[in-house]
Amino acid sequence: MNIPEPLTKIAHIFFGFISTLASLINPALTVTSAALFVIYELDEEFRLNDEAYQEIREYLYGASAALTILILKVIPA
């Protein structure tokens, strides 16, 4: 499947963002989705020689953005 690279980057960032916001429902969802994402990316790395570290970094960009929003929302102004 040939998906344009900018779209996959956005998808990784979005998934990191959404999976981190899932901690509002249940913190186990965030841990589970992060673990599954890393396992999937490492599997791609070993099978396709894909550069998993870049995709994991994109995931972490989204997770960092969501964590920043959560922290700013929790800290009273």
* pLDDT, tens digit, 9 for 90 and up, residues 12-65: 999 999 999 999 899 999 999 999 999 999 998 888 887 888 999 999 999 999
pLDDT above 80: residue 77: no
Instruction: Decide if 12 is inside a domain.
Output: no
**What b/e sequence results for 52-61 when a residue is b if at least 16 CB atoms lie within 10 Å of its CB, and e otherwise?**
beebbebbbe
Number of domains in the chain: 1
Report if residue 76 sits inside a domain. no
Long-range (24+ apart) CB contacts under 8 A made by 46-49 are none
What are the CA-CA distances from residue 62 to residues 66, 76, 77 (Å)?
6, 23, 24
Write down the pLDDT at residue 20. 94
| 59 vs 76, residue with greater confidence | 59
Give a yes or no: residue 1 inside a domain. Answer: no
Residue 57 lies in a domain: yes
Residue 52: give the domain boundaries. Answer: 26-69
* pLDDT for 6: 87
Structural tokens at position 8: 């996959």
Q: Is 3 contained in some domain?
A: no
